[in-house]
Every structure is written in structure tokens, then in C-alpha cells.
Amino acid sequence: MTQVTVKELAKVVNTPVESLLQQMHEAGLAHTSADQKVSETEKQKLLTFLEKGSSTKTDGSKKITLQRKTTTTLRTPGSKSISVEVRKKKTFVKRSAEEIEAEKQKDLEKLQAEKKAKEAAQEKAKPAEVKAEPVATKPAAAKAEPVKAEEPDLPPADITLPVVDEVAAPATERKKAPTKRVEPDERRERKAAPRPAAKGKARLDDEQTARRGGRNRSKAKKRSNQHGFHSPAGPVVRDVSIGETITVAELAAQMSVKGVEVVKYMFQLGSPVTINQVLDQDTAVLIAEDMGHRVSRVSDNVLEEQFAASLKIDEGETFHRAPVVTVMGHVDHGKTSLLDYIRRAKVATGEAGGITQHIGAYHVKTEGGMVTFLDTPGHAAFTAMRARGAKATDIVILVVAADDGVMPQTIEGIEHAKAAGVPLIIAVNKIDKPEADPDRIKNDLAAHDVIPEEWGGDTQFVHVSAKVGTGIDALLESVLLQAEVLELNATPSASGRGVVIESRLDKGRGPVASVLVQNGTLRQGDMVLVGVNFGRIRAMMDENGQPIQEAGPSIPVEILGLDGTPEAGDEVTVVVDERKAREVALFRQGKFREVKLARAHAGKLENMFENMGQEEKKVLNIVIKADVRGTLEALRGSLSELGNDEVEVCVVAGGVGGINESDANLALASNAVIFGFNVRADAGARKIVEQEGLDMRYYNIIYDIIEDVKKALSGLLGTDVRENILGIAEVREVFRSPKLGAVAGCMVTEGTVYRNRPIRVLRDDVVIFEGELESLRRFKDDAAEVRSGMECGIGVKSYNDVKVGDKIEVFEKVQVARTL
């Protein structure tokens, strides 16, 4: 053994040189200076002296702490080398003779208790022993030996000195080399501690002990040889917080066990999982509780909140961004022509060979700046997106044909834009036509609160011709002027954010999504979270089908690489962490149903006010469709008068004709109820109503609507008589029979048609007759009911005017109790 100096020894035992010299002096050693050598015998003498406790403490410390660090290099199969640092810390605590005696006694008792517990556990898990034994008897010291070989540097530890043995790798290295991680003592001991375990679990524990190999066992052996036992009395209970979802690995980390333990545990339960699999909250709670930990469930939105907080995106310089425009207007007023003209004139020019393809949007560059157009015209797409909470449009161009004037869809366009709070620019189109009368348009629109600037209002009117190109530049200028007023800004240096315009599944390329970048920059290779989907952007194309590497604010692009087709209006967010993206996507998928259910609850007329704050004035939003304009106006007037200081009725939109998809979307976006007066919803609208749980009611008496709204306003909506539509038959042919009159050859398209229930005849989703059936026949036979998918002959009592294409709706009236 080489000699060390007093200074070196002081460093090793972590004591000031003066203190050590004092102790050495008291131990009868002659050392007086830091540079003097200390022999092995002298060291031993000093240690014996210290053990006897005859040393007067000079630094107030009862402990000597020794630290040692070893670094080994680990080679992974991928030939990556990882350095693993193992730190050992030994603390020698000086005790009096009595304390040592008591400690010995305690150790003995513990040893006996542990032995008993082990026997009990082995008794319970007999089959496991067979598996575990052979491994346990293998020579185990091999791996531990090199560590032992370095021990001589440390002063010899004595059996009477209890030793706290800490072995730990730094956190970062743990991640890199999980297999090399040395288990904390407490976990090892928790495993050995008695606990009521299922057979499978006991087997699991033993297998784990066996699998861990010789290293731990040899350490345990070493410890028992040298220092006796040091074991906590019970299992270590961790605080585990579990969100809506958690990955197996994360759950394991929170419980301080290896992921594979959870995998095995789940396997025992008959549910194989992988380490990266996401568990739902209930399963995770079950596992964690069963493994003896304290579990706290984390609130629903914590994951989303954490995710939102992790996106620090808006740092950097802000710049003006291009406005995004949607074109609306009545059928045939020239929406498509206008979009096509602008595209042809501004995009395709100069881009020889550029393939113009429909990606749902395009952008044009003008002298005054850039403008982006969403090229699905009409308010349906606009409101569908808004219904999903997306605001993609900054400005609406409302096209009104100068030869036709203000029409129902023109008014709908105004209503939809107003409901969304988006400014309008009026494109008075077809100005090239001789019969064009732009002044009439101004007058008509003013009646709908759209006042031209020259009349003191705030709406720009531009005369254009989408056919010959007149006024298009002026229209673009107006858009840019309006954009300036809106002060549209974005931060290109931020990470990309956007909204899905449309998506489809391409045979060769997989899911393809058109995305409008709204802030930051989207780049090829970015990991993105898109609604309930996620993926890495494999490729990105502009509206000409040309591959591009990146896209800034207000630029539409097509992206490939998602794991599914997101919905129009879904938010696109660049995320750094793929695991997080997957987790949030899965969380959202699970959440989807709940959100729908919650919406279904909130969207009912009965519950409309429940979700509003106490202070704010409560507003009941209504979308009304009626069979004739007279009724519509009457309803509008009566309903608008119903409010008082606290509650208000707002007819968001009203129109003549059946309830369509766009009405349903507007109701969804505006949190409104839908009233159909003598009209019905088409299939598209019904799908949205059902999916989103909207409240849609059909009426045929004005008084009933007014009464229901009054009741809803006063919170008294008790029981209702609601109509259930039982079946719908479509008229395919009409036969005239001298005996029965007109008989409709029908196909039952939905539900079941019953002979004895009330019916209505609908033409273009508008009720034209209400009554009952005269006859219902399958082939030649009378039938009580005919189901969906079957043909039948229907005779309507006292009604002979059935036409091909009409629908016969069979319904029943039921009392519905108010649901809360």
C-alpha cells in the first residue's frame, strides 16, 4: 500500500487538514504538518482511535463521507458509445459502544423479520422460485469485481460502522443507458419487503430479481459480508400523477420502476402493451394503485394546457401579413368566375409549366402586396370552418350580380360574415352587362345594414366584371386597404401554425392536407400536430404543385406525411417532441367523444343559458328556416320582441326553404338552436345536428315557437311535445288508379313507414301537406309497416298531388321531459 500525505488523506476523508492533524495528535500520532506521510499502520491507528470515540470533535461532525467516481464506457448495439458515471458515496457515522450494540441487535431483528417475510413470499409464489433459482445461483460477482478491485483507495470499512451506500448515475445518462441504471436501494428493498401479492406478481418480482443479474446480488452479498443490512421497513410509495393518458414508460418512470415491469404487469392482466403505448387514465390508475403508489388524477385539460404552454411561438419580429379572403354570393352571381379570373390573371402568368391544382386556396402578388384567396366559394365552407372554431378568413368579398340584385344567398352571406365579425367588400359583378344596375344593389344592401362608404357607411363597393376583367385591380386594392385597417400581423420567425383548409386521401401519396399557414413558418421535416392527427411533413407543395421547403404566414400549402386526414378547420401546430405530439393527438381522439357529448348537452334549448356567466346579458341565438317569407318575417318580429333586460333573442339567420348544411354549421358556430317552420333538414344538415348534438325543432304553428322560446327564456321549459320522425319514403313513380286515386311507388330510405301514423308530404324539404295514409302496400298486399330499403305503394288520404321526388315522412308525437 502506498503511503499518502496528511493533506491527501484529509482530502479523501473530506475533513479539513487542521482537524485531521488534531485528531491524529489525539490518536497519539506525531504528525504536525500537511506534507508528512501517513503509513497504513498509522491510518489504522487513527481509525481505531476514531471508532473508540475518544476523539474530541473539532469540527462538530460525527460523519466522515468518502466519495468515489468511476466512469465506464458502454457500447450499444448501434455502436454508439455512452459513458456511464457511477458515483459512490460512503458515510461513516461514528457511534458510541451502546449505540453500536443497539444497532447490532436491531440488525439481527431485521434480519430475522426479513427472512420470515421472504419465506412467506416464497411460499406464496412457489412456481416462481423454480424459474428464479437457476439464475440466482449463477456466479454473480463477475461484474461487480472490478468495482471491488478499486476499493483499496478507501479506508477499510468495519462491520460496526453502518454504511449508507448510494449509487447513482446522472439523470441524463440514465436516459441514454437505461439498462445500465443501477436501482436505488429502496426499490430493491421494496421488492424484498413483504406485501400481499398476487401469484403472478410475485412471480414477476422474482423474475425481475433474477433478470437483474449478478450485479445487484453481488452488491447485496458484499453488503451483507461487510456492513450488515440496512432496509426500510415498508415499500416506497410514490406520488404518481396521471393525466387523461400516459405512456407506459412515463408511468413506470413516475413509479420508479422499469418500463418492462409495467409491460409485464399488463401482460399478466392479459393485456399486452408496448413501452410507448399510451394508456388511458383508468388503466394507469389501476396499475399504479395496485403497485402500491399514491395516485392523483390530473385534470382533463392539463395536457393541452401544458402543450400550449410549451409552444412559445410568438417570439420574434412581427411583420404585416397578407389578408385571407373568402368569396361569397348568390348562385350564378359569378363567385367562381371571379376567383378564376384573378387566379388566371395573377397566378398562372409567368409561371410557365406550372400546373394549377386545387388545394383550396391560392395567393396572388400585386403591386400593393399579397392577397390569399380561399377558393371554395360560398358561405357553407366558411361557416363549416368557423363551426370548428377556426378563423381563417380576414375579409369577405360578397359578389352581387348587377343584373340580378340582392338574393337570398346574398343575405345569407351578409349574415354569416356578420356572425363571424368579418368585414365585407361588395363586388358588384357583371357590370359589363347592359342591364346592370349597380345603384339598385346599393339601395338593396343598405336595407340590410350594408352601407356604402359614399353614403357614410364603412363598406367598400367595387364595380367589376369577372368576365372581361374590369375593376379587378381596384377590387384587390380595396382588399389591401381593408387589410391595412385590420392591421394583420404575423411573426415569420416563430414556429409554424396554421389551419386545415381541406384534406383527402390520395391513393399514391396517402393523406394530403391543404394548410393555410397563419403564423410562423412551416417547414418540410417539421413534426406537426393537426387536430387529432400528427406526423412529420414528408413533402410540401405550393398551389402550383411545385415542391417547396418552407411557407410563411398567409401562404397555402399542401402537406404529406400525416397519419390521417384531418378536418377542415383543424389547427396545425409545429411541435418539437414527437412523443408529445402523439400523446396530445391520442388525448384529443379520446376527448373527441366527450367534447361532442358536452356540446350535445350545451346545445339544447333547455341548457342554452346554463353555460353563460351570471353578469353578462344572456342571448338566445336562433336560426330559423320557414316555408314562406311571410311566416319568416312574422317569426323574426315576434321573437325579437321577446327579450328583456336580462335575456335577449337574436335571430342569427333566417331564410326560406329547407334546413341545409350551412344553416346547421351556422347554428353550430353561433351556438344557436334551429327552428324549422314547415320545413325539414336535408341529410347533410341532419348529420351535423346529430353529430354535434344541436337542438333542431320542427314546428307548424307559430304560437308553439313563441311559447317554447318564452319558456326557454324564463327557464321554465318543462316537458315538451316533440316529434320523432319514424321513417321517410321517397316517391319514385306515381300511378293513377281509378279506385285509389294517386298511388306513389316509393322506396323507404330511412327508418320504417307505418300505416297508422301521421304523415307529411315534403317537396324540396318544405312541408306541402299534412295528414294520414290511405293505403300502404308491399306488392299487392296491405302492410302495417315497411322498412328501410324496401319498395312500397303509398296512397295519401285526401291528397292527389304527389309528385316524383317528393318525400313522405311518417312521424309520432312524444312527450319529452326536460333534460338537464
Ligand X SMILES: Nc1nc2c(ncn2[C@@H]2O[C@H](COP(=O)(O)OP(=O)(O)OP(=O)(O)O)[C@@H](O)[C@H]2O)c(=O)[nH]1
Q: Is 429 labelled as part of a ligand binding site? A: yes
Span interacting with ligand X, options 113-121, 331-339, 509-517, 654-662, rule CB under 6 A: 331-339
Closest contact distance (angstroms) between CB of 381 and ligand X is: 12
What is the Cα–Cα distance from 170 to 642, expressed in whole angstroms? 70
Least Å from the CB of residue 401 to ligand X: 7
User: Could you identify the residue written with the cell 475533513?
Assistant: 15
For strand 791-796 and strand 533-541, is the pairing parallel, antiparallel, or unpaired? unpaired
Binding residues with ligand X: total (CB under 6 A): 16
Task: Report in angstroms how near the CB of residue 328 gets to ligand X at its nearest.
Answer: 9
Compute the distance between CA of residue 402 and CA of residue 676 in angstroms, rounded to an integer. 32
Which of residues 265 and 341 has its CB atom nearest to ligand X in the complex?
A: 341
Q: Which of 231, 336, 544, 752 is the binder for ligand X (CB under 6 A)? A: 336
Mark the segment that binds ligand X (CB under 6 A) among 429-437, 576-584, 704-712, 771-779. Answer: 429-437
Least spacing, CB of residue 687 vs ligand X, in Å: 22
Main-chain dihedrals φ then ψ at residue 455, nearest 5 degrees: -100, 10
Nearest CA-CA partner of 304 in 529, 139, 96:
529
Q: Name which position in 335, 346, 680, 760 contacts ligand X (CB under 6 A).
A: 335
SS3 (DSSP) at 717: coil
Write down the residue that cell numbers 487538514 correspond to. 17
List, in sequence order, the alpha helices (H) in 248-349: 248-255, 259-268, 281-290, 302-310, 335-342
Task: Indicate which single residue of 332, 648, 764, 774 sits in contact with ligand X (rule: CB under 6 A).
Answer: 332
Phi, psi of 763 (to 5 degrees): -125, 125
- Binding site annotation covers 2? no
Rounded to whole angstroms, the Cα distance separating 667 from 416 reads 10
Of the candidate spans 115-123, 155-163, 311-319, 425-433, the one that interacts with ligand X by CB under 6 A turns out to be: 425-433
Q: Which of residues 453-482 bind ligand X (CB under 6 A)?
A: 465-467
Cell digits of residue 490: 404575423
Kindly write down the DSSP assignment for every residue of 518-562, as one continuous string: EESBEETT-EEEETTEEEEEEEEE-TTS-B-SEE-TT-EEEEEEE
Q: Is residue 697 near ligand X by the rule CB under 6 A? A: no
Single out the segment in contact with ligand X by CB under 6 A; choices: 117-125, 330-338, 528-536, 693-701.
330-338
Say if CB 294 and CB 240 are below 8 A apart. Answer: yes
Q: Among 216, 218, 393, 429, which residue interacts with ligand X (rule: CB under 6 A)?
A: 429
The 3-state DSSP class for residue 222 equals helix
Residue type at position 791: E
Q: Min. distance of Cβ 554 from ligand X in angstroms? A: 24
Q: Which of 290, 432, 567, 571 binds ligand X (CB under 6 A)?
A: 432
If one asks whether residue 333 binds ligand X (CB under 6 A), the answer comes out as yes
Q: Would the annotation count 43 as a binding residue?
A: no
Q: Which stretch binds ligand X (CB under 6 A): 78-86, 163-171, 325-333, 537-545?
A: 325-333
Instruction: State which residue, 466 or 773, has the beta carbon closest to ligand X.
Output: 466
Candidates 218, 254, 337, 678: give the one binding ligand X (CB under 6 A).
Answer: 337
- Contact yes or no for 674/659 (Cβ under 8 A): yes
Contacting range for ligand X; rule: CB under 6 A; set: 333-341, 450-458, 567-575, 584-592: 333-341
Among 162, 214, 243, 329, binds ligand X (CB under 6 A): 329
* 385 is a contact residue toward ligand X (CB under 6 A): no
Q: How far is the CB of 330 from ligand X (least distance, A)?
A: 7
Mark 389-408 with x for binding to ligand X (rule: CB under 6 A) and - for no binding.
--------------------
The helix (run of H) or strand (run of E) holding residue 109 is helix 97-124
C-alpha cell at 376: 371554395
Rg from Cα positions in the chain = 40
Cα 457 from Cα 635, distance rounded (Å): 29
Annotated binding site for GTP: 329-336, 375-379, 429-432
Interacting residues toward ligand X by CB under 6 A: 329, 331-337, 377, 429-430, 432-433, 465-467
